[in-house]
Amino acid sequence: MTAQAIPASSPPTTRQGFRFTPSVMMWPALLYLILTTQAPFFLTIYYSFFQRNLQLPMASYPFVGLDNYIGLFKDPQNLSVIWNTLVLTGGVLIITLVLGGLLAMLLNRPFMGRALVRTILISSFLIMPVVTAVVWKNLLLNYDYGFFSWLIKALGGSPVAWLTVHPMATVITMVSWEWTPFAMLILLTGLQSLPDDQIEAARLDGANPWQEFRHIVLPHWTQALEVVILLETLNVLQVYGEIAISTAGGPGVASTNLPYYISQKLLVEGNIGVGSAAGVVAVILTNLLAVFMLRLINRNTQVGGH
Least separation in angstroms between residue 41's CB and another protein is: 19
If one asks whether residue 62 binds another protein (CB under 8 A), the answer comes out as no
Single out the residue of 268, 253, 275 nearest to residue 83, CA to CA: 253
Angle between helices 167-192 and 114-122 (to 10 degrees): 140
For another protein, which is the closer residue by CB, 65 or 252?
252
* Residue positions counted in the chain: 306
If one asks whether residue 182 binds another protein (CB under 8 A), the answer comes out as no
Taking CB under 8 A as the binding criterion, the range among 14-22, 233-241, 243-251, 281-289 that sits at the site for another protein is 243-251
| Cβ proximity of 238 and 259 under 8 Å | yes
> How far out from the chain centre does Cα 220 lie?
23
For another protein, which is the closer residue by CB, 167 or 181?
167
Instruction: Provide CB contacts within 8 A for 257, sequence distance 6+.
Output: 81, 84, 85, 88, 237, 239, 243
If one asks whether residue 57 binds another protein (CB under 8 A), the answer comes out as yes
For another protein, which is the closer residue by CB, 134 or 285?
134
Q: 63 has which bridge partners?
A: 50
Q: Could you tell me the CA-to-CA distances from 27 to 37, 180, 240 in Å, in that order?
A: 15, 40, 35
For another protein, which is the closer residue by CB, 130 or 294?
130
For another protein, which is the closer residue by CB, 164 or 193?
164
Taking residue 149's Cβ as centre, other Cβ atoms within 10 Å add up to: 20
If one asks whether residue 264 binds another protein (CB under 8 A), the answer comes out as yes
If one asks whether residue 61 binds another protein (CB under 8 A), the answer comes out as no
Q: Which of 78, 132, 271, 276 binds another protein (CB under 8 A)?
A: 271
Torsion, Cα 141 147 153 157, to 10 degrees, reads -50
**Which of positions 100-159 make contact with another protein (CB under 8 A)?**
137, 143-145, 159
If one asks whether residue 50 binds another protein (CB under 8 A), the answer comes out as no
Q: Which residues bind another protein (CB under 8 A)?
A: 53-58, 137, 143-145, 159-165, 246-254, 264-271
